[in-house]
Amino acid sequence: MSKGKFGIHGGQFVPETLMNAVNEFEEAYNKYKNDPEFVEELNTLLREYAGRPSLLYYAEKMTKDLGGAKIYLKREDLNHTGSHKINNCLGQCLLAQKMGKTRVIAETGAGQHGVATATAAALLGMECEIFMGKEDTVRQALNVYRMRLLGAKVNAVETGTMTLKDAVNEAMREWTNRVSDTHYVLGSVMGPHPFPTVVRDFQSVIGKEIKSQLMEKEGRLPDAVIACVGGGSNAMGAFYDFINEKDVALIGCEAAGLGVDNTKNAATIANGTLGIFHGMKSYFCQNEYGQIAPVYSISAGLDYPGIGPEHANLHDTGRAQYVPVTDDEAVDAFEYLSRTEGIIPAIESAHAVAYCKKLAPTMDKDKIIVVNLSGRGDKDVAAIARYRGENIYE
Amino acid sequence: MNDIKAAFKNGKAFIPFVTAGDPDLETTEKLLIEMSKNGADIIEIGIPFSDPIAEGVVIQEADLRSLKGGTTTDKIFDMVEKIRPQVQCALAVMTYMNPIFVYGTDKFMKRCAECNISAVIVPDTPFEEKQELAPYAEKYGIDVISLIAPTSHDRIKMIAKEAQGFVYCVSSMGVTGVRSEITTDIGEMVRLVRSVSDIPCAVGFGISTPEQAKKMAEYADGVIVGSAIVKIVAKYGRDSVEPVVEYVRSMKEAIS
pLDDT, residue B2, reads 66
Average pLDDT, chain B: 96
Domains in chain B, start-ordered, CATH in brackets?
3-255 (3.20.20.70)
Cα of B83 to nearest chain A Cα, Å? 23
- Residue A15 is nearest to which of B50, B54, B132, comparing CB atoms? B54
Strand-pairing partners, residue A10, are A5, A281
Distance from CA of B249 to the nearest CA of A (A): 31
pTM assigned to the model? 0.97
Q: Which residues of B touch A172 (CB under 8 A)?
A: 53
pLDDT tens for chain A, 394 residues long, are 789 999 999 999 999 999 999 999 999 999 999 999 999 999 999 999 999 999 999 999 999 999 999 999 999 999 999 999 999 999 999 999 999 999 999 999 989 999 999 999 999 999 999 999 998 898 888 899 999 999 999 999 999 889 899 999 999 999 999 999 999 999 999 999 999 999 999 999 999 999 999 999 999 999 999 999 999 999 999 999 999 999 999 999 999 999 998 889 999 999 999 999 999 999 999 999 999 999 999 998 899 999 999 999 999 999 999 999 999 999 999 999 999 999 999 999 999 999 999 999 999 999 999 999 999 999 999 999 999 999 886 6
- CA-nearest of A352, A309, A303 to A197 is A309
Judging contacts by C-beta atoms under 8 Å, the chain B residues touching residue A286 are: 98, 102
pLDDT tens by residue, B185-242: 999 999 999 999 999 999 999 999 999 999 999 999 999 999 999 999 999 999 999 9
Q: Which residue of A has its CA nearest to B104?
A: A289
Closest residue of A to B174, CA-based? A177
The CA distance from B37 to the nearest CA of chain A, in Å, is: 31
| Contact criterion met (CB < 8 Å) for A277 and B126 | no
Under 8 Å CB pairs connecting chains A and B tally to 128
The full set of domains in chain A, from first to last, is 5-46+85-199 (3.40.50.1100), 51-82+204-387 (3.40.50.1100)
Cα–Cα–Cα angle for B107, B111, B112, nearest 5°?
A: 115
Residues of A in contact with B159 (CB under 8 A): 16
Q: A27 — contact with chain B (CB < 8 Å)?
A: no
Touching A: B residues 1-60, CB under 8 Å: 49-51, 53-54, 56-57, 60
CA B14 to chain centre: 10
- Strand ranges inside chain B, DSSP E: 13-19, 42-46, 90-94, 119-121, 143-148, 167-170, 201-204, 222-225
Give dist(CA B114, CA B120) in Å, integer: 14
**Is A129:A152 a contact under the CB 8 Å cutoff?**
yes
Indicate yes or no: CB of A277 within 8 angstroms of CB of B129.
no
Cα separation, B186 vs B169, whole angstroms: 8
Amino acid present at B162? E
* Cβ contact, residue pair B151, A173, below 8 Å: no
Query: pLDDT at position A139, please?
Result: 80
Residues comprising chain A, all counted: 394
Whether B104 and chain A come into contact, CB under 8 Å, resolves to no
Q: ipTM of the predicted structure?
A: 0.96
